Amino acid sequence: MQETQVRALAREDPTCRGATKPVCTSFTAEHAKYGHVKMHHGYTNVLGLGDSSTWRLPCLNRYVYMFLAPLLIPIITPLVAVERLREVELRTALRTLGLISLGLYSHYWLLLNVSGFQSPSSALACMLITRSLLAHPYLHVNIFQHIGLPMFSRDKKPQRIHMMSLGVLNLPRLPVLDWAFGHSLISCHVEHHLFPRLSDNMCLKVKPVVSQFLREKQLPYNEDSYLARFRLFLHHYEELMVQTPPITELVGLQ
């Protein structure tokens, strides 16, 4: 891809100034920056660093992991976030605990006092159900787009362009997932990894340029359907999610 083309496209979009899609989670900004920006983006598919291993749970079988485990994400996420607070300053931990509590209580209060739920148990059940609606695609997308692709060792990782081309995959555009997660996570994930500061709108604009450039340079531009990836993980769950993935040797690319 011609760098001047991408820069010109970026200048057309006023939202493209380091913009990222706001995501409400229970984790601190510091933890998200370290885990996602520094490690996952900096060392995509490098074993032990940015290889998406946090999503691998070898103790679960394929059916529990693919179908049942996502339902626990709304419960597990705040618990894991609280556990991670041991690693931050006291002021940051107190601020995060306050925001987590405020968010959960506000949801609960609105269900009881505005939506008309008659009992605390029904309100809590509704909270769990609504927060679980997109838990399955959220978990699936995070593994579909990296795990099962080439993995690299710390001391022999390829150049960035090869790392992102080989280790990242785009899913096709799906209206519900595009609306919920954004293009950067679904159909423009390769572009997002190559240019993490681009907005969703800009990722869509540079997508044809990126795909053309990679194919001209005889580099892979990984794309696959949601259903195809789901079948792959269901049929090859042991080797993808339980066993340690093999390191890809890229002769001449290091």
CB 162 within 8 A of CB 251: no
Lookup: tokens for 31: 């933890």
CA-nearest of 151, 155, 134 to 52 is 151
Residue where the block lists tokens 């626990």: 72
C-beta of residue 50 within 8 angstroms of C-beta of residue 151: no
Residue 44, SS3 per DSSP:
strand
**Highest mean predicted confidence (pLDDT) among 4-8, 75-79, 96-100, 116-120:** 116-120
Closest of 26, 216, 46, 6 to residue 107, by C-alpha: 26
Model pLDDT for residues 144-169, shown as the tens digit of each residue:
999 999 999 988 888 899 999 999 99
| Beta bridge pairs of residue 247 | 151
Token reading at 239: 């080797």
Domain ranges in the chain? 3-242
pLDDT (0 to 100) of residue 15: 38
Confidence at residue 115, expressed as pLDDT on a 0 to 100 scale: 92
pLDDT per position as a tens digit, 95-126: 888 888 888 899 999 999 999 898 999 999 99
Q: How far is Cα 119 from Cα 123, in angstroms, rounded to an integer?
A: 6
> pLDDT for 134-146, tens place per residue?
999 999 999 999 9
- Residue 2 to residue 25: CA distance in whole angstroms: 36
What's the pLDDT at 245?
84
pLDDT at 89: 87
Tell me the pLDDT tens digit for each residue of 10-56: 444 433 333 332 234 567 777 888 888 899 999 999 999 999 988 99
Q: Is the pLDDT at 94 greater than 90, yes or no?
A: no
Instruction: Enter the pTM of the model.
Output: 0.83
pLDDT for 180-216, tens place per residue? 999 999 999 999 999 999 999 999 999 999 999 999 9
Question: pLDDT value at position 5?
Answer: 52
